[in-house]
Amino acid sequence: SSTASPKDKEIVRDYFNSTGFDRWRRIYGEGDVNRVQRDIRTGHQQTVDYVLDWFKNDKNAIGHTVCDAGCGTGSLSIPLAAMGAKVYASDISEKMVGEGKERATDPENPVFEVKDLASLSGSYDTVVCLDVLIHYPDRESEEMIAHLASLAKSRLILSFAPKNPYYVMMKKVGDMVPGPSKATRAYLHKESDVRRVLERLGFTIKRKEFTATSFYFSRLFEAVRK
């Protein structure tokens, strides 16, 4: 099989077009939120800032083509476009894309599109996919990484929730607490598994970062062609 199961995807898409949209649009925004949401907002912003810092330090944003797969409300895409990159931002949720379009100041960059990342095509200097793999199990994540890698001329930037004994325990506790985030399952991925998939695809990890706040944790990989 070459694509993620339609059922997982439908659940995720429906969530980000309904209750998930209301929740994440606020977390990824600037207005008042509760303590947990503020913690997640801070953690997520750290992940975004790491990626923006890589572009700043490399001084290569201008004219660089970027595919931001699962762009959400444009938290990365919009500042990256402002730095001079040519950004193609897409997301499976039309609501998230709609919000991204509203937040953007330049109507032409990023270019926003409603699209399942499995059906993206083209070729980009950098392909980015932040905090999306958490919605898919290992096998499906692996297929998604392979597809994203096929679109990347030189670089693939991914973030995921790492699987280790501590976070497995945290997730078990989290699963027992009722709340809006229970609408979708969260899947953790072993760092060594993600690395192995990337290496098999001909990539090597050049830089990595890790963000952990109380309720947000995300491993960030920059993989480049060997």
Separation between Cα atoms, residue 81 and residue 71, nearest integer Å: 13
- Nearer to ligand SAM (CB atom), residue 157 or residue 198: 157
Nearer to ligand SAM by Cβ, of 131 and 222: the residue is 131
The encoded tokens of residue 83 equal 């730095």
Within 13 Å of residue 59, how many CA atoms lie on the same side as its CB?
A: 0
DSSP E strand boundaries for the chain: 65-69, 86-91, 111-114, 124-129, 152-160, 203-212, 217-225
Least distance between ligand SAM and beta carbon 87 (Å): 12
DSSP β-ladder status, 65-69 and 86-91: parallel
Among the candidate windows 52-60, 63-71, 81-89, 160-168, which touches ligand SAM by CB under 6 A?
Answer: 63-71
Cα 165 to chain centroid, rounded: 23
Query: Taking CB under 6 A as the criterion, which residues in 64-83 touch ligand SAM?
Result: 69-72, 75-76
- Residue with Cβ nearer ligand SAM (60 or 184): 184
Report, in Å, the least distance between residue 77 CB and ligand SAM: 8
Which token pair is 215? 């309720």
Residue 28 is a binding residue for ligand SAM (CB under 6 A): yes
Q: Choose which of 89, 92, 148, 194 interacts with ligand SAM (CB under 6 A).
A: 92
- Cβ–Cβ under 8 Å, residues 65 and 124: yes
DSSP string, 94-160: HHHHHHHHHH-SSTTSSEEEE--GGG--S-EEEEEE-S-GGGS-HHHHHHHHHHHHHHEEEEEEEEE
Task: Tell me the closest approach of the beta carbon of residue 226 to ligand SAM, in angstroms.
Answer: 26
**Among all residues, whose Cβ is closest to ligand SAM?**
72
Residues 104-133 that bind ligand SAM (CB under 6 A): 116-117, 130-132
The interface with ligand SAM within residues 158-187 (CB under 6 A) comprises: none
What are the residues binding ligand SAM (CB under 6 A)? 9, 12, 16, 24, 28, 69-72, 75-76, 91-93, 96, 116-117, 130-132, 135
